[in-house]
Structure 1
Amino acid sequence: MKAANKQLAEWDAELNQLHKRNGDLGLKVQMLEQELKEVRGDREEIRNSVSTVAEFPEPADLLNQLKARRKKSRADLADVETFLEILGSES
């Protein structure tokens, strides 16, 4: 009987330690969740304050610049227009 009581006391102490540790972890999770909410809020404010409009040169001008730099470029006006459409849709 004494051995069983001793074992129960040991398990009780271990259980208390686990509860304490889990309680500390729960508090840490709450703190991290709060910090994440604050950071996400800041990010949204920044995102809303920055203009995301990108202005690109005219496709023909861009093609002329490309041809001036790379004389043997095989790109044509349709290619340049497609590139600009892709870039415009990503911003």
Structure 2
Amino acid sequence: MNRQRQELKAANKQLAEWDAQLNQLHDRNGDFGLKVQIWEQEPKEVRRSRDEILKSVPTVAQFPQPADLLNQLKARGKKSGANLADIEAVLEILENH
């Protein structure tokens, strides 16, 4: 019985030492498992956000007809020097960018 108690004390002492070493490692290294999980999750969230953004952005801008745009411009300023060719050129520039 005395021998078993000594073995149990020795085992408890060894466990306590291992526990202390584990705590030291954890204090020194932090929780790498949690950091890895976070790092693995970030790209998934970025991809999900990117997909949502791409779905919400129109692929082609819709511009009014040049004549309608010229009429709107002239309605704002009666003495506008722009003509239909100017408006068509501006719309072409916008569509190409």
Q: Normalization by structure 2: what TM-score?
A: 0.47
Q: Normalization by structure 1: what TM-score?
A: 0.49
Q: Which has the higher contact order (CA 8 A, sep 6+)?
A: 1
Structure with larger Rg: 2
